Chains A and B, each alone.
Chain A
Amino acid sequence: MKKIIYIVLAASFLTSCVVVKEYEKVNINDPDMVLSSRKANKFETSFQAYRESASGANGGKTGGGCGCN
């Protein structure tokens, strides 16, 4: 649990990182740099929610809506 707290605290300091200007975001705006799961992963994520106990924390569905775990 301490590790989780450290991660959250570390994240809070990330806001003090250097600010990248809009015109410097060419690489950040690359389609492969998107901070979410790919659209093609939608059904893959669904079967993982059925076959595994863990779900959520990926920006998507967290549970409910199906008879899955």
Chain B
Amino acid sequence: MSCSFPALKCWAILSRPLRGLNKNAKTFAPSVAPFGPLGCNVISSMSGKINEHVVGKSAPRKEGRRKVTGAALYIDDLTFPEMLHGVTVRSSIARGLIKNIAFAGDIPWAEITVVTAKDIPGENHVALIINDQPYLADGVTNHPEEAIILLAHADKYLLEEARRNVRIDYDESPALFTLEDSVNKKEIIWGEDNVFKSFLVEKGNVDDVWESADLVVDGEYHTGAQEQLYIENNGVIAIANPAEGVTVWGSMQCPYYVHKALVKLFALPEDKIRVIQTETGGGFGGKEEYPSMIAGHAALLAWKTGKPVKIIYDRAEDMVATTKRHPSRTRHRTAVTKDGKLTAMEIDFVIDGGAYCTLSPVVLSRGTIHAAGPYSCPNVRIRSSAVATNTPPHGAFRGFGAPQSIFALERHLDKVAHAIGLEPDEFRRRNFVTEGQTTATSQVIREKVEMGQLLDRALKLSDYHAKREKFAGENPTSRIKKGIGFASFMHGAGFTGSGEVYLQSVVGAEATADGRVKILSASTEIGQGTNTIFSQIAADALGVDADLIDVAQPDTSSVPNSGPTVASRTCMIVGKLVESAVLGLKQTLIGSGLLQEGYDQKEFQNACRHYVAQFGALKTFSKYQPPPNVNWDDEKYQGDAYGTYAWAVYVAEVSVDLLTYEAHVQDFVALQEVGRVINPVLAAGQIEGGVGQAIGFTLFENVVWDKGRMINNQMTNYIIPTAADIPPIRVFFEENPYAYGPSGAKGIGELPMDGAAPAILSAIENATGVRFNHVPLMPEAMMKELV
């Protein structure tokens, strides 16, 4: 986007490595209390007088007070004068032609504004990757609950009655509902072959290995759809008219994604579209791309009515119509020596993308790259594809392909270990990748990686070996079987390969007339702590209190595009730009002579005031520069896939009751190496929350499909864990600072989603002797194998 701010200077600050790093991994205590400072690492390379460092402390949540008092304003808390409500009329079939739309019943239709595809001023597609998804179905529908028309009126009750009375006639076509049917091309429903995207990753030559291998082990693994279930449903308010343009407020993760989509929908110039993120009650990826759709709908109604329009989904609509985690099928073929060394891995990874392409290529990408895990193997082939079915498009959900492929890998390696007579942990130890070795994409690991030690520590923290022995003794005479299992994995932070370069993220920092510093970024606070850690990073870099830092509300008319709030990039990538941007402020102030090195906070504030009084606004910008020596080949899908990885071992202890075939997680240990913990309470909160969702993914959350529609679209029947269901989740961090992250931090938001499912199923195998290969794993399925 064009830089339309009255900036005094535009800084392009190179990401440079931090001086004075403690290169040894540091560990610290479990997160049961707020933490003090982490020791005496000197973090900021350019600090003056060292104030008490706030990075590493559990600074209180910046917007916490309004959240605990109910004062925080989410989109449904806002009302505008003359505002109308909007609702969406959706397809009741999976695939076919829309023959006729009639407005029936005893409804005052003349009062109700109706918007169809014909009312779209610009292009009828949601701009994302391949622009195949329409905002409103036009003559043809490709999935149940696809949006067809929109209605607006001031009376929300009347609207519900009206919605019920829209009669749509269809000419149904054969539809596909499963990944298998799509792969087998039972019907061609998208493009020429149902395939949105495919990848091939090769290293060495697996074909040379099978014949002579000591042992070859095959396996097949499945994961189901998962609903993000943010407790705040999707919602937006739009004001739109040809004179002023379009303004949308709403619950979202990526204001600039919405901006880009609305530009195309309305065929308006960029500066006529304004998108503002309101307090957002959870996203987890479910509000990455979907808000573009609902924002466009509200804006179209606003455009036609000339009034503000609010669209808020209820839970049933949000669950049935919006994105979910991609279901997957992974096939593994693995060759090992009798000493337990991996010699070849061939992986076939398929994800179900739903009816339109949306983000499937990127989900596929991440799942593909993570499919062979933190292991060293000379010969690897990964073939992957994202295929179409006639279901609402699947989309981003924390982990974004990696939980699916890592589940399969870890389950499979347990099987391989068993086949050669090695304990699961010993087998991993013999194959973990270390510094200097390469991953499946031939990325050379250039940081100190000690997965073996991480594994040792996790097993010790969870009392793994002693418990395995104890359970083996007790289980034969108990109806309740106990087991313990682990998973070892890594997660790449930031966009894949050249993604961050493509994004060209920019962050701004402004020194204000009242001596405060404002951070300008499009990175949204959605509960993960963006506002707080940005304040801490900025405060630390400037040597001032975090209280002096404000984080501007993400509003595309006043903040630059720092990229989407996804991909575990907000701290690691954008946080680094925050650091650079505020350092730019400091350099300007020093350069202007208004501030001397070694300043205190009061001096800093005065300098800001004086600068603004004398010269006008002081704003600096920092633009992303890739770290040196990051080389990625998009064609061959080879090279440095991610700047860095977080490394982890998770251990789950379970009990399985043979009366009801229910499995419960009794204890959970989550150990990860994350570069640097900026805020211990927030970081632990991310891990605990992610593990909670992953436990749901494993044992509770089952999307029940009927001809492409989710039929258990109520919280009564789509089950997430309650406070009574969640085990103690014990979180431990290690730190091996990443040179290009702020204070050494790596990204961690998605990491916790990857490890629980395979760890839990490994534990269930330990408890029952049965190897299950799919999640969600419900008691009904367990029962079939347990007599």
Task: Answer whether A and B are interacting partners.
Answer: no
